[in-house]
Amino acid sequence: MKSTEIQKIRELNEVELEKRLADLKKELFNLRFQHAINQLDNPMRLKAVKKEIAVVKTIIRENEIKNSAEA
C-alpha cells in the first residue's frame, strides 16, 4: 500500500472509516470463501485486504487516542 493511499485514508472521517472497514471485512470473507472452493483468481489479494484492514484499524485507533488527549 502506497503512502498516498494511506494519506487518503487518513483524510476520511470516522463514519467513512467504519464503512470502509466493514466493506473490507466483507471482501475478505468473500475472498476466503472463494479460496475454500478453489475459485480465487488472485491469492495475493487476501494479504492485501488484510493489510488494508490493519491500516484502517490503526488510523481509527490513532484518531481515538488523539480525540481523548484533546478532551
Q: Taking the domains of the chain in order of start, what are their residue ranges? A: 16-70
Across residues 2-24, what is the average pLDDT? 95
Could you tell me what percent of the chain has a pLDDT over 70?
Answer: 100
The whole-angstrom distance between residue 4's C-alpha and the CA centroid of its chain comes to: 15
Q: What gap in Å lies between CA 22 and CA 60, rounded to an integer?
A: 13
Tens-digit pLDDT profile for residues 35-61: 999 999 999 999 999 999 999 999 999
Collapsed DSSP state (helix, strand, coil) of residue 22:
helix
Please report the pLDDT score of residue 1 as a whole number: 82
CATH topology classification for 16-70: Helix Hairpins (1.10.287)
Q: Phi/psi class of residue 38: alpha, beta or left (left: φ > 0; alpha: ψ in -120 to 50)?
A: left
Q: What gap in Å lies between CA 34 and CA 60, rounded to an integer?
A: 29
Please report the pLDDT score of residue 68 as a whole number: 93
Q: Per-residue pLDDT for 71 more than 80?
A: no
Confidence grade of residue 17 (pLDDT, cut at 50, 70, 90)? very high
